Structure 1
């Protein structure tokens, strides 16, 4: 053990676990900030705590390493609010905050509220650090918790409003870096062999099975295993948004994203299946269209690393508790190849082809203002083979999830798990976590405005992500409902969803970024290519048609 300050210890641990960036709003842990700088860790100072949490989330998802965000006591609740997406997206994030010392608590100390309740809702582990001697145990445990099992955010609350009671204190502290927890997954547990054999036997008897791949496939790195299993057993594959791209979307067995942010052939195939294999999926409302696709009662094989998820929403015929990659590999080994499902795979392929026939005219539309479908088609063509595509929530998730095709194994898709405005800051975090890969974020102007100030952050740190704005001058997803609500009433429904229609490219340029405005569909691909080549953070402001909304999902 060596005598050191708490600040030095935190910096050494972060460095030891491969953390390259920490995202924060000052002032928090000043001594640690100095020490982190000396070790080469970039301290990214953001314009809001939620943005810091979103950046840490994007960093973690893009790199599969722990993302770090920090805030002082008064900003802790804001940081907790930003962790909602990381929690829902099962992202390994360590959040560090400060809290007032015990003698100041419960006495109306300035700017202090309880931190337990806000963080208990959005973390799997939260601990108060009241002495510097606790750091070796609690900080190491934070990394263990964040990267193991079903990964999720964790929280450490350091004594002192700015955490300085801990970071300034000295003690003999043992520096231990556990290599298993440098990245996720920390471990790859496997199910019992007998259960795997049972699953293989049940699956062999199905005539129309479908695989529904969830986010656990992505976090486990099980994409190749999913494709191998599907090809070996002639099974169509649908992917949740969190697993989009797990199978190349031009693969004959790929049917797209099912559920509410979906293309209709995926919903049709899952609805017509006689067995569903859920792999790493929470089987929640979005991927199942409120548990109607598939219908409750269908035979189900479910694979999940978290045993509490097995059978949560769909009673299982066979439940396999284990890491997705390891478990699918065992299922492959226990199964015999079959080509006896030619009629079923042909049906799935035909449905997908029918859908393409419907949307191809929209993909190629020359309409002005630009149709979002055309923007999806041009983005598909412009997307580099190793790109990370980020998507905000709402229409951004629907358009990209249903109509942008990821055709190359090197492409990744990361989406907001719930919060509008996540896209821009999360894309900056993703670029920090994967600096050698192109990062393109699709957001609407509604989402873009949430954290537009982070363009200055991007320029200040030269974080060269590309922000593609589907700019229809409105909260377009609200338009249809607001227009209906106003029927028979006076007033203008646009007051509830319309914006001023500013030139977002010029705003980006004023902050030191590259900006380009696109008014004609034929210019989209060139604009994206210019943005990628600009050597700067970039905004591509695409003026789209406010009258075009995403189609409703197909339901039985």
Structure 2
């Protein structure tokens, strides 16, 4: 097992004891780092962050009784299309279906959150199924795969003897380099749709980033004057200060993107599933809008919009081929592009009083602006879900092509462990985690893991002592009724800087906005584990999405 993982290019495994202990011993000799977490979900999130930033398969592991927790941690990887292989132990066959201590069926737990869940019941099956797990995790639309190993900690597989077992193909350890190409006929048909459109717009998702389509998208967008919106997962495909970048679209968006996508007479989805989140419950674009959808996963093309021209194949190749057909044959669309740029510029000007505010408690808009200014050109920003996702997707700029944005697909508390996994996967890049205090409570015990491994993530806590996203919704439900709405979504206050120091991580509490810039600059440049506990105002509302 250890030799196979080494052959597949696995540099780190993330686990909860007790699983595959002899294998873990072998890994040390082979140079594979063994990152023990404090919760199975944390281990899964670390493997997820590692996979997203490296483009390689992340590995997480736990024993039988932790399988349910590990499965829960794979939800985000499944939603985002991250390649992860999860290994669990299971009690041997003679103990199954007999009320064995701490044992429940694992396959039903993993079915909703994996592409496949496979039982490894004998050692002879291990080489084949391990290779197949990695192949499945990275192929087509990537995602998690589960291997259930015989033995509480997988020991019945470890104790087996194999003679002449084949080593897996090293290429299976990463996302495929060679992908199916869209045919000439569909490229020509898509080019014709784009050629006849007066107000086309791109909506780009994580699938485009996974295939490295950044350069191809930018080249085509600039040649054809086509504005670019992104899903949360696609953010960063184009620098956010680019004249054609119109922002994140859907439910977690600022007003300009939804408005402009609604004005479009053709929407080109690229590596985007077009689910309810990036389409604001299938209203942006409106049903009936002509669509071109480019995706490696043919099952997703046309799933949610009827008038869809399918382009099944590698998004990077398809965009390059479209440029070859369209680059010099289109009438200028400067008016449409200028209109889009004007809408975005006007909204940015509206936000300026908030992004430059000196108010205390600190406004989150000012915090996001200071983080954007401090991020190096090759930084990785890891954001949690809820308001953390909305604030960072709308107000926090990523102006450099070398910057990466990773966000929780919905699992509150994901960001901090995922940032640790991303940092060990990209040790030469500065990683900054943006988390609300409500999210950070989930896995703050991983501060000990960060200190133990000296992982130089800078964690920024938006500390407003509550779930800010729901404050006014709860009060609205109360109306004039007497009672205490704060019991539903307020907590704290908590000094996370003091907690970090108790764990051995440098903790800095910030209450004055003037202190943000120097603290961020020093923390990022220091390349040490640091937590910045920023006391913010819970009352400012994140940008609301425009809706038709």
- Decide: shared fold, TM above 0.5: yes
The reply to whether residue 356 of structure 1 matches residue 348 of structure 2 is yes
Equivalent residue for 1:7? none
User: Does the CA contact (< 8 Å) of 2:78 and 2:113 recur in 1?
Assistant: yes
Equivalent residue for 1:54? 45
Equivalent of residue 253 in structure 2, options 262, 269, 288: 262
Aligned counterparts of 1:500 and 1:156: Cα–Cα separation in 2: 40
The reply to whether residue 315 of structure 1 matches residue 309 of structure 2 is no
Give runs of aligned pairs for residues 10-25 of structure 1, distance below 5 A: 10-25=1-16
Equivalent residue for 1:109? 100
Aligned counterparts of 2:172 and 2:92: Cα–Cα separation in 1: 31
Give runs of aligned pairs for residues 408-447 of structure 1, distance below 5 A: 408-447=400-439
Equivalent residue for 1:347? 339
Aligned counterparts of 1:528 and 1:236: Cα–Cα separation in 2: 32
TM-score, normalised via structure 2 length: 0.98
User: Does the CA contact (< 8 Å) of 1:98 and 1:158 recur in 2?
Assistant: yes
User: Does the CA contact (< 8 Å) of 2:140 and 2:296 recur in 1?
Assistant: yes
User: Does the CA contact (< 8 Å) of 1:234 and 1:339 recur in 2?
Assistant: no
Render the CA deviation track for 1:354-401: whole Å, top value 9, x for unaligned: 111100111101110011111111111011110000000000000000
Render the CA deviation track for 1:493-519: whole Å, top value 9, x for unaligned: 111111221211111011111111111
The reply to whether residue 85 of structure 1 matches residue 73 of structure 2 is no
Q: CA deviation at 1:327?
A: 1.4
The reply to whether residue 386 of structure 1 matches residue 378 of structure 2 is yes
Q: CA deviation at 1:476?
A: 1.1
User: Does the CA contact (< 8 Å) of 1:149 and 1:187 recur in 2?
Assistant: no
Aligned counterparts of 1:220 and 1:210: Cα–Cα separation in 2: 20
Q: CA deviation at 1:310?
A: 0.7
User: Does the CA contact (< 8 Å) of 2:14 and 2:37 recur in 1?
Assistant: yes
SS where residue 77 of structure 2 aligns?
Answer: helix
Render the CA deviation track for 1:222-243: whole Å, top value 9, x for unaligned: 0111111101111000011111
Aligned counterparts of 2:96 and 2:152: Cα–Cα separation in 1: 11
Aligned counterparts of 1:286 and 1:485: Cα–Cα separation in 2: 24
Equivalent residue for 1:126? 117
Of 447-456 and 496-505, more deviation after overlay is shown by 496-505
Give runs of aligned pairs for residues 505-516 of structure 1, distance below 5 A: 505-516=497-508
Aligned counterparts of 1:293 and 1:240: Cα–Cα separation in 2: 12
Q: CA deviation at 1:487?
A: 2.3
Q: CA deviation at 1:244?
A: 0.7
SS where residue 461 of structure 2 aligns?
Answer: strand
Aligned counterparts of 2:501 and 2:446: Cα–Cα separation in 1: 13
The reply to whether residue 280 of structure 1 matches residue 271 of structure 2 is yes
Equivalent residue for 2:297? 306
Aligned counterparts of 1:94 and 1:182: Cα–Cα separation in 2: 10
Render the CA deviation track for 1:232-280: whole Å, top value 9, x for unaligned: 1110000111111111111111101111111111111101000000000
Render the CA deviation track for 1:166-194: whole Å, top value 9, x for unaligned: 01222214232314323113532111101
User: Does the CA contact (< 8 Å) of 1:215 and 1:280 recur in 2?
Assistant: yes
SS where residue 48 of structure 2 aligns?
Answer: helix
Aligned counterparts of 1:325 and 1:185: Cα–Cα separation in 2: 13
TM-score, normalised via structure 1 length: 0.97
The reply to whether residue 160 of structure 1 matches residue 147 of structure 2 is no
Equivalent residue for 1:74? 65
Q: CA deviation at 1:532?
A: 1.7
Equivalent residue for 2:179? 188
Equivalent of residue 463 in structure 2, options 471, 476, 486: 471
Aligned counterparts of 1:528 and 1:336: Cα–Cα separation in 2: 42
Aligned counterparts of 1:82 and 1:182: Cα–Cα separation in 2: 21
Equivalent residue for 2:478? 486
Aligned counterparts of 1:407 and 1:316: Cα–Cα separation in 2: 34
User: Does the CA contact (< 8 Å) of 2:8 and 2:171 recur in 1?
Assistant: no
Equivalent residue for 2:193? 202
Aligned counterparts of 2:172 and 2:187: Cα–Cα separation in 1: 27
User: Does the CA contact (< 8 Å) of 2:380 and 2:403 recur in 1?
Assistant: yes
SS where residue 303 of structure 2 aligns?
Answer: coil
User: Does the CA contact (< 8 Å) of 1:185 and 1:219 recur in 2?
Assistant: no
Equivalent residue for 1:334? 325
The reply to whether residue 148 of structure 1 matches residue 145 of structure 2 is no
Aligned counterparts of 2:72 and 2:367: Cα–Cα separation in 1: 32
Q: CA deviation at 1:317?
A: 4.0
Equivalent residue for 2:209? 218
User: Does the CA contact (< 8 Å) of 2:390 and 2:543 recur in 1?
Assistant: no
Q: CA deviation at 1:491?
A: 2.1
Deviation beyond 3 Å, 4+ runs, structure 1? none
Where does structure 2 lack aligned partners over 5 or more consecutive residues? none
User: Does the CA contact (< 8 Å) of 1:133 and 1:173 recur in 2?
Assistant: no
Q: CA deviation at 1:529?
A: 1.6
The reply to whether residue 406 of structure 1 matches residue 398 of structure 2 is yes
SS where residue 440 of structure 2 aligns?
Answer: helix
User: Does the CA contact (< 8 Å) of 2:302 and 2:308 recur in 1?
Assistant: no
Aligned counterparts of 1:505 and 1:316: Cα–Cα separation in 2: 53
Equivalent of residue 225 in structure 2, options 234, 256, 271: 234
Aligned counterparts of 2:412 and 2:308: Cα–Cα separation in 1: 37
Give runs of aligned pairs for residues 31-50 of structure 1, distance below 5 A: 31-50=22-41
Of 535-544 and 131-140, more deviation after overlay is shown by 535-544
Aligned counterparts of 2:56 and 2:497: Cα–Cα separation in 1: 33
